[in-house]
Amino acid sequence: MSQLETVSKKTWVLVNALKENNQGQELQRVASQISDLLDEWHTQGKIMWSGGFDDNKTAMTIFDATEEEAKTFFSKYDKACSGTLGCYLYQWDAMPLLSLLAK
């Protein structure tokens, strides 16, 4: 990995929330597609930290990537979740609370 590539990587936060009126079959389809995306990410030697919140409706994933990598991953993720989960991508610094916790 070149120094330029390291410098251009940023920390990203992916937040998703379960939409109302979803079906169990849709959740299984989405879970399978998301699992495939995460496996693809990990086979490239990249790491993500993720977990659900206590409400069992929202989750957060944190990862390092270039802006292009993050947007490409988010595009695939959002497409997989379409209609079942609302997905949002933020740069770490765009979330002030998380930035305060990092200090």
The residues spanned by each domain of the chain are 3-102
**Cα-to-chain-centroid distance, residue 67:** 13
Give residue 75's pLDDT: 96
The model carries a pTM of 0.78
Q: What CATH number does domain 3-102 carry, 3.40.250.10, 3.40.50.300, 2.60.120.560, 3.30.70.1150?
A: 3.30.70.1150
Burial 51-84 (b: 16+ CB within 10 A, else e): eeeeeeeebbbbbebeeebbeebbeebbebbeeb
Mean pLDDT of 41-45: 93
| Element containing residue 11 per DSSP (H, E) | strand 10-18
pLDDT confidence tier of residue 29, bands split at 50, 70 and 90: confident
% of the chain beyond a pLDDT of 90: 50
Question: Would you say the C-alpha torsion 95, 52, 35, 26 has a positive or negative sign?
Answer: negative
